[in-house]
Amino acid sequence: MHIPWRTSLDAFAEIMRRHGVDPDTVTDVEAAWGAFAEFLQLDIAGIDPTPDSDADGFIIQWGRRSWSDNRLILTFTRQLAIADVGDRDDPYWQPELWQLDLEMAFDDEADLIGLDSFDVHDTGFEFAPTGPLRAAALADTWATAQQHASVRAAWITAPASSGLSFESVC
């Protein structure tokens, strides 16, 4: 079953609640990851159907950001290339990229201080299709993120704040 892309945020929020996680007050990053992994297995209607396109992907990102009062953040992102927006008759038409983010911000604690000092601040995008290939990509992405001691520390720390967003990024 495909869910409409416009309802993606609501679908993810519902999955989070089933996992015992409130999107606005995440207290368990591992439970949020479980909900994210389930959400990533949903097929989305309205994305670019071009074979081998990067129409549906995900990434984990971390670091300090000015919009979070320079607190450390950990973000789970699903990126969609939306095909049913804009003027398809325009010769320069491209699918719009939208990102659904679960952003979790952390207060400074001893185990989290070095989070922003890494050269790498994300796992890189994965575009494996839903099903077993996506499950394998999720396991690899989790393992990549867990290689960083501070990410491991954030993973077991209750965020100070959290929130969902879904917006066009280009």
**Which pLDDT does position 68 carry in this prediction?**
65
**Which pLDDT does position 107 carry in this prediction?**
87
**Which pLDDT does position 128 carry in this prediction?**
94
Dist CA 105 CA 87 (whole Å) = 38
Q: How confident is the model over 123-133, as pLDDT tens digits?
A: 999 999 999 99
Q: Around 101, how many Cα atoms within 13 Å sit in the side-chain half-sphere?
A: 18
Amino acid at 68: S
Residues of the chain with pLDDT under 50: none
Could you state, in order of their start, the residue ranges of all structural domains in the chain?
A: 2-168
**Which pLDDT does position 113 carry in this prediction?**
65
Q: Is the pTM of this model over 0.85?
A: yes
**Which pLDDT does position 117 carry in this prediction?**
56
Strand, helix or coil for residue 14: helix
**Burial class, 18, CB count within 10 angstroms (exposed 0-12 / middle 13-18 / buried 19+):** exposed
* 67 phi, psi to nearest 5 deg: -75, -10
